[in-house]
Structure 1
Amino acid sequence: MTTSKRPARSLSPVPSTLRIPLAARASGDAMFPQMAVRDAYAASILEKIRDDGQALPEDRATIYGILSRTRRFRSLAQEFLEQHPGARVVNMGCGLSHYYQWLDDGKCRMTDADLPEVLALRRELIPETNTRHDARALDLTSAHWWEQLDLPRKRQGRPVFLFTEGVLMYLQPPQVQAVLATFGERAPAGSVLAFDAMCWLAVGRAAQHPSVRATGAEFHWGLRKAAELTQAHPRLRLDATYRVLEGIGLPYALFAPLMLMLLGVPLYAVYALGVADSADT
């Protein structure tokens, strides 16, 4: 029996960007062996949707960056689960990624969440096979996204690990601040929110991005200073910053420090936010 194919181009602009990380994980290991992620699902999923006539991303910096950020999100989640066995992990804006293959330790509970149009495609291509792994509809621009994920109702609950990959840059600045504020207000102490962010220079310039420009999506939010990440709520703290393109080559190594000095923040990085009550700080 043949598997039906549904082209990713039927998705609206921002959701359609899910093809970019999927393609990078499917082919990037051969291009950058030192950054290999060994995704056991990406190639087969890509094959089911690649008849949509769209070219696959070929720019090396994008592919390297996706592998780098994948490794970072994976390691941050794994470290969290080592500290909190059996904890809840949520991928907010999951697209067609499959982090559960790396994070399943026999105890954790993982939720992959995205907009309904993405979730419909995901359920066709990635059937749920484990009772500790579920998928939920999610709209991060909704004031009720915390409830949509059925996250802890009280701060005294168990810490959770939330991450969102390739999502926040497409939201408006007030929407990003609202997401951070909700996390700061609702998350139990010890919880983590990890996400990637471009610097402010990228805003309005998606048409210059070799892969994103084909989708029609636009970058609306970019970081100007690290302090913006914690100003939404007093419980928030910036635990770590990881430069995504570090190690890609000598030109970047020479160029990045100058740009950091001029721009105030890395061109592109993964950030990890934590929450703490006054007694914990």
Structure 2
Amino acid sequence: MTPRKPARHLSAVPSTLRIPLAARASGDAIFPQVAVRDAYAAAILEKIRDDGQALPEDRTTIYGILARTRRFRSLAQDFLKQHPGARVVNMGCGLSHYFQWLDDDKSHMTDADLPEVLDLRRELIPETHPRHDIRELDLTASDWWEQLGLPKKRSAQPVFLFTEGVLMYLKPETVQAVLAAFGERAPAGSVLAFDAMCWIATGRARNHPSVRPTGAEFLWGLRRPADLTQPHPRLRLDSTCRVLEGLGIAYTLFGPMFRMFFGVPLYAVYALRATDAADT
């Protein structure tokens, strides 16, 4: 049997998967107002705790991860109510387990990530449910839509795609290509949800206490909300959730000033919808 590949041997960006895992494992006790009640995170974290890396402890990161988890979960649950039995895809799943929250006895869920992440995931989270599968995915590849086996026709049932803690590590042109592909290929009514930092964070991962030890770098940040719909005419911005502004009065007061000066929130979860002319 091949020995398990410790998390410390993952490359820089994939190794950031420990950050949300640790936040979901311990964050509920710190921030009960945004508790997610993850039934798997603590046990998974215990299996990789001996990899020699310090766990993230900065409260802002822990809060942000819990708040964004609740947002992604809520968006997906609302989508499944509108489209029973639809497909949900977590692009860059790491060691998250959203199926525990999204299994409504009809939905189909795919967790997708790079091969090195899936090798670790298969050992830690064996998947046996017939409506839950895993697939290899490289969002930098032009055929990522095909890698996921997503609908070939716009007339198909809408799909819900989300990517968490991923796009900020991609080059701007890659992010634009991902958004354009979604706009071009997605059936009308499909949703793509993702988190994004403000552009001023680009190149400053060294200032992020949880990301700094991984060696990963922030390559993309949002400058204007309009940049999210610019890649394709079918894209519409459905919602923006400023996840940090519930952390405390400083963030609540500072947030509007920050948006005024820099054009976008410091950090937020966005949802884009693919539409046809008749839907606009």
The TM-score with structure 2 as length reference comes to 0.98
2:18 pairs with 1:19: yes
- Provide runs of 4+ in structure 1 moved above 6 Å: none
What residue in structure 2 maps to residue 85 of structure 1?
A: 84
Aligned partner letter, 1:45: I
Q: What residue is the counterpart of 2:197 in the other structure?
A: 198
Which digits, 9 at most, give the CA deviation of each residue in 1:149-190, with x for residues without a partner?
000000000000000000000000000000000000000000
Cα distance in 2 between the residues matched to 1:44 and 1:146: 32
Distance 1:84 1:137 in 2: 25
How far does the alpha carbon of each residue in 1:254-281 deviate from its partner, in whole angstroms, 9 at most, with x for none?
A: 1111111000000000000001111111
Q: Which runs of 5+ in 2 are unaligned?
A: none
Q: Which residue of 1 aligns with 2:73?
A: 74
Name 2:139's counterpart in structure 1. Answer: 140
- Maintained 8 Å contact 1:85/1:107: yes
CA distance in 1 between counterparts of 2:211 and 2:191 reads 28
Aligned equivalent of 2:31: 32
| Residues 1:252 and 2:268 are matched in the alignment | no
- Asked if structure 1 preserves the Cα contact closer than 8 Å seen for 2:113 and 2:138, the reply is yes
Report the CA distance between 1:253 and its aligned residue.
1.2
Identity %: 79
In structure 2, the CA distance between the partners of 1:184 and 1:258, relative to structure 1 (3 Å rule), is same
- What one-letter code is carried by the residue in structure 2 that aligns with 1:62? T
Scaled by the length of structure 1, the TM-score of the pair is: 0.98
**Aligned residue in 2 for 1:123:** 122
* Aligned residue number for residue 186 of structure 1: 185
| Aligned partners of 1:89 and 1:108 also within 8 Å | yes
Alpha-carbon offset, residue 7 of structure 1: 2.1
Post-superposition CA distance 1:163-221 (Å, at most 9, x none): 00000000000000000000000000000000000000100000000000000000000
Structure 1 contact 6–48 (Cα < 8 Å) conserved: no
Aligned partners of 2:164, 2:178: CA distance in 1, in Å?
A: 14
CA distance in 1, matches of 2:265, 2:279: 29
Residue of structure 1 in register with 2:156 after alignment: 157
Unaligned runs of at least 5 residues, structure 1: none
CA distance in 2, matches of 1:5, 1:121: 7
What are the residue-to-residue correspondences of 1:233-248 with 2, within 5 Å? 233-248=232-247
Count of residues in Structure 1 that have an aligned counterpart in Structure 2: 278
